[in-house]
Amino acid sequence: MAKVFALKGDKKLLNAWAFYDWATSVYNLTISSAVFPIYYGALFRMAEVETVEVFGTQIERAPLIGYVSSLSFIIIALVTPLVSGIADYLGNKKVFLKFFTYLGALGCIGLYWFSLEHIYWSLLCYMAGLVGSWVSFAIYNSYLPDVAYPEQQDKLSAKGFSFGYVGSVLLLCLNLWMVMSPQTFGFYDSEGVPAAVQAMKISFVTVGLWWMLFSQYSFYHLPKGYKKEGERTNVILNGFRELKLVWHQLGQQIRLKRYLVAFFVYSMAVQTIMLIAAYFGEQEIDWGSDEKRQFGLIASILMIQLVAIIGAYVIAWSSKRFGNIRTLIVVNLLWFLICLYAYTMVSPMDFYIGAALVGLVMGGIQALSRSTYSKFLPETTDTTSFFSFYDVSEKIGIIIGTFLFGYIIQITGTMRNAALFFALFFIIGAFLLVRTNKKP
């Protein structure tokens, strides 16, 4: 008997879409934001070094992770349109959602063996997790107009992020318990490796397993996707051709084009800051001891997630009350002030205050940016190509942002200057958003 999928706008389908955020957001929290940055810094501290040799060059830890992230996003920016083109013509983007989910999850599990002695394998696993996370999330984003009507999309987008926050917080609580009380889970200091560090390694495995397990619900209910009409030729390169077609269509969609330029600028800063915030706290804040550093960073990231649940809904309400663009302008100005504040951070309390402020605007700007773009799209069933263009724009911004982050640190010796530099992008982003509402 053939499987019957829920119709567009159906509650079951909407929940299945939002639930993928529950599955995948554990990567962003545990790997990108909380435990891995602490583990990464701990490896250098245990080895009593500040640099590692990569391809014959000694490079410090902070610029290294910036450059590797930049390279990962080059791969992501190239892979995303390839996947988009093939998915459109096969009418089956779910198979790619599954592939990149498993790639990312296995990359997370591989981080269990991350070490400075095997730096190339280690960085490869880090890149696999990053590529899997971002490409799968791009495909997931493209489902939004397929499963929800325009009037449902703001609320559903916020619901997805909220599901992600709640799920990732639950797993982070377990990871926090493991790291702060490793003996409870049977971890003890051995061969110069602290019990807490062993617990961190296990936490990477829990992320991969959680991601694979909970994504099955979304895989079961989400449709394959729309099949591209017409003759299917040059399938491999078609994604890039589709991006070119989208670019030409933007010539007639002035408001959408203006919005994308603004999004490119401020998203460059938002995504880069979210990727490096924990590394900033790990290196620039005076915690007093390794134990306080571990607890303080994980607790602050946990606080960000909890505050972000409220922030996502507050910003969704604000967009309904005042409009999407006006709300995004205000959020950009808040990000600008947060960057200025980050430059002055010294104590743990400074970092906690900054984390709370970031939580208020972090999820909201992502959810609202996604739903605003969806609303501005012309009437089309080719949502994958339009969202591929959106995601590639975002990834190119991150490539530039993470490279600038690494370069600024390398030439100035401090992340504080990078925070100050990225503040400028939010002022420019706010200005460009003002132009979005102006008549052509």
146-193 residue pLDDT tens: 787 777 777 787 788 778 878 888 898 898 889 888 899 888 888 778
Q: Is the pLDDT of residue 131 over 90?
A: yes
Q: What confidence category does residue 2 fall into, taking pLDDT thresholds of 50, 70 and 90?
A: very low
Q: Of 201-205, 263-267, 314-318, 382-386, which one has max mean pLDDT?
A: 201-205
pLDDT the model gives residue 248: 66
d(CA 133, CA 84): 16
pLDDT digits (tens, 9 = 90+) for 213-268: 999 988 888 887 665 555 555 665 666 666 677 766 666 677 777 888 888 899 88
Contact in structure between 339 and 277 (CB atoms under 8 Å): no
Q: What long-range pairs does 350-356 form, CB within 8 A, spacing at least 24?
A: 350/285, 351/281, 351/285, 351/296, 351/300, 352/296, 352/299, 352/300, 352/303, 355/300, 355/301, 355/303, 355/304, 356/303, 356/304, 356/307
To the question of pTM greater than 0.85 for the whole model, the response is no
Hey, what's the torsion of the CAs at 277, 283, 289, 295, to 10 degrees?
A: 10
Q: With DSSP H G I counted as helix, E B as strand and the rest as coil, what are the percentages for the chain, rounded to 5?
A: 80, 0, 15
% of the chain beyond a pLDDT of 90 = 18
Average pLDDT for the chain: 82
**pLDDT tens, residue by residue, 406-433:** 888 878 877 888 888 889 999 999 999 9
Q: What is the pLDDT of residues 325-353, one digit of tens each?
A: 888 999 999 999 999 998 888 888 988 88
- Higher pLDDT: 428 or 9? It is 428
Q: At 363, is the pLDDT very low, low, confident or very high (cuts 50, 70, 90)?
A: low
Residue 344, burial from CB neighbour count under 10 angstroms (0-12, 13-18, 19+): exposed
Whether the Cβ atoms of residue 248 and residue 3 lie closer than 8 Å to each other: no
CATH architecture of 12-227+235-436: Up-down Bundle (1.20)
Lookup: tokens for 35: 């435990």
Query: What's the pLDDT at 332?
Result: 92
**Domain boundary assignment for the chain:** 12-227+235-436
| Res. 308 pLDDT band, cuts 50 70 90 | confident
- Judge whether residue 210 has pLDDT over 90: yes
Q: Is the dihedral of CA 27, 277, 300, 40 positive or negative?
A: positive
Q: What is the pLDDT of residue 112?
A: 93
Q: For residue 362, which of 310, 399, 414 has the smallest C-alpha distance?
A: 310
**Among 395, 355, 365, 369, residue whose Cα is nearest residue 133:** 395
